[in-house]
Amino acid sequence: MFSLEQYCQLILKYKLLIKTGTYPRTHSITYLLKLLSSISQEVNTLLEDDENFIILTKIEDAHISSRYLPRRYDVREVRIVLKFIKEVFNPVVKRV
Protein backbone atom coordinates (compact mmCIF):
# COMPACT_ATOMS: atom_id res chain seq x y z
CA MET A 1 0.00 0.00 0.00
CA PHE A 2 2.84 2.37 0.78
CA SER A 3 4.27 1.89 -2.70
CA LEU A 4 0.88 2.64 -4.25
CA GLU A 5 0.63 5.78 -2.13
CA GLN A 6 4.10 6.86 -3.22
CA TYR A 7 3.19 6.30 -6.85
CA CYS A 8 0.06 8.48 -6.57
CA GLN A 9 1.85 11.18 -4.63
CA LEU A 10 4.78 11.37 -7.02
CA ILE A 11 2.71 11.34 -10.21
CA LEU A 12 0.60 14.20 -8.84
CA LYS A 13 3.69 16.18 -7.85
CA TYR A 14 5.18 15.52 -11.29
CA LYS A 15 2.04 16.82 -13.01
CA LEU A 16 2.02 19.93 -10.80
CA LEU A 17 5.72 20.54 -11.49
CA ILE A 18 5.22 20.25 -15.25
CA LYS A 19 2.11 22.44 -15.30
CA THR A 20 3.03 25.09 -12.68
CA GLY A 21 6.78 24.87 -12.24
CA THR A 22 6.51 23.86 -8.58
CA TYR A 23 4.75 21.52 -6.17
CA PRO A 24 3.99 21.70 -2.43
CA ARG A 25 5.90 19.79 0.21
CA THR A 26 3.01 17.62 1.36
CA HIS A 27 2.06 13.96 1.41
CA SER A 28 -1.68 14.61 1.08
CA ILE A 29 -3.08 13.00 -2.04
CA THR A 30 -6.37 14.87 -1.68
CA TYR A 31 -4.62 18.23 -1.30
CA LEU A 32 -2.47 17.56 -4.37
CA LEU A 33 -5.60 16.62 -6.33
CA LYS A 34 -7.32 19.84 -5.23
CA LEU A 35 -4.37 21.83 -6.55
CA LEU A 36 -4.37 19.89 -9.80
CA SER A 37 -8.12 20.45 -10.17
CA SER A 38 -7.43 24.16 -10.62
CA ILE A 39 -5.62 23.20 -13.83
CA SER A 40 -8.06 20.54 -15.04
CA GLN A 41 -11.69 20.35 -13.95
CA GLU A 42 -11.74 16.65 -14.83
CA VAL A 43 -9.70 15.95 -11.68
CA ASN A 44 -12.76 16.98 -9.65
CA THR A 45 -14.41 13.70 -10.64
CA LEU A 46 -11.92 11.93 -8.38
CA LEU A 47 -12.74 14.18 -5.44
CA GLU A 48 -16.50 14.54 -5.87
CA ASP A 49 -17.44 10.86 -6.14
CA ASP A 50 -17.88 9.41 -2.63
CA GLU A 51 -16.44 5.98 -3.43
CA ASN A 52 -13.40 7.48 -5.14
CA PHE A 53 -12.88 9.83 -2.22
CA ILE A 54 -12.93 6.97 0.30
CA ILE A 55 -10.33 5.04 -1.70
CA LEU A 56 -8.17 8.16 -2.04
CA THR A 57 -8.23 8.73 1.71
CA LYS A 58 -7.37 5.06 2.26
CA ILE A 59 -4.36 5.55 -0.02
CA GLU A 60 -3.44 8.71 1.87
CA ASP A 61 -3.71 6.89 5.20
CA ALA A 62 -1.22 4.29 3.95
CA HIS A 63 1.55 6.89 4.20
CA ILE A 64 0.80 7.63 7.85
CA SER A 65 0.23 3.97 8.70
CA SER A 66 3.51 2.86 7.18
CA ARG A 67 5.44 5.36 9.27
CA TYR A 68 3.66 5.43 12.60
CA LEU A 69 1.17 2.59 13.02
CA PRO A 70 1.51 -1.20 13.00
CA ARG A 71 -1.11 -1.54 10.23
CA ARG A 72 -1.27 -4.56 7.96
CA TYR A 73 -3.29 -4.48 4.77
CA ASP A 74 -5.23 -7.43 3.45
CA VAL A 75 -4.43 -8.58 -0.08
CA ARG A 76 -8.01 -7.75 -1.05
CA GLU A 77 -7.59 -4.13 0.07
CA VAL A 78 -4.45 -3.75 -2.00
CA ARG A 79 -6.10 -5.30 -5.06
CA ILE A 80 -9.05 -2.90 -4.79
CA VAL A 81 -6.74 0.10 -4.52
CA LEU A 82 -4.54 -1.10 -7.38
CA LYS A 83 -7.61 -1.60 -9.58
CA PHE A 84 -8.80 1.92 -8.70
CA ILE A 85 -5.41 3.40 -9.58
CA LYS A 86 -5.25 1.58 -12.91
CA GLU A 87 -8.86 2.11 -14.00
CA VAL A 88 -9.88 5.42 -12.44
CA PHE A 89 -6.96 7.46 -11.09
CA ASN A 90 -4.41 6.98 -13.90
CA PRO A 91 -6.72 7.76 -16.83
CA VAL A 92 -7.80 11.05 -15.22
CA VAL A 93 -4.35 12.17 -14.08
CA LYS A 94 -2.62 11.22 -17.33
CA ARG A 95 -5.01 13.44 -19.33
CA VAL A 96 -3.94 16.52 -17.35
Q: Which residue has the higher pLDDT, 93 or 70?
A: 93
b/e for 35-56, b at 16 or more Cβ within 10 A? bbbeeeeebeebeeeeebeebb
Query: What tens digit of pLDDT does each residue of 41-86 get?
Result: 999 999 999 999 999 999 999 988 888 888 889 999 999 999 999 9
Q: What's the pLDDT band for 40 if we cut at 50, 70, 90?
A: very high
Query: What tens digit of pLDDT does each residue of 27-38 get?
Result: 899 999 999 999
Q: What is the pTM of this model?
A: 0.91
> What span, in angstroms and rounded, lies between the C-alpha atoms of 96 and 91?
9
Kindly list the domain boundaries of the chain, sorted by start residue.
Answer: 2-91
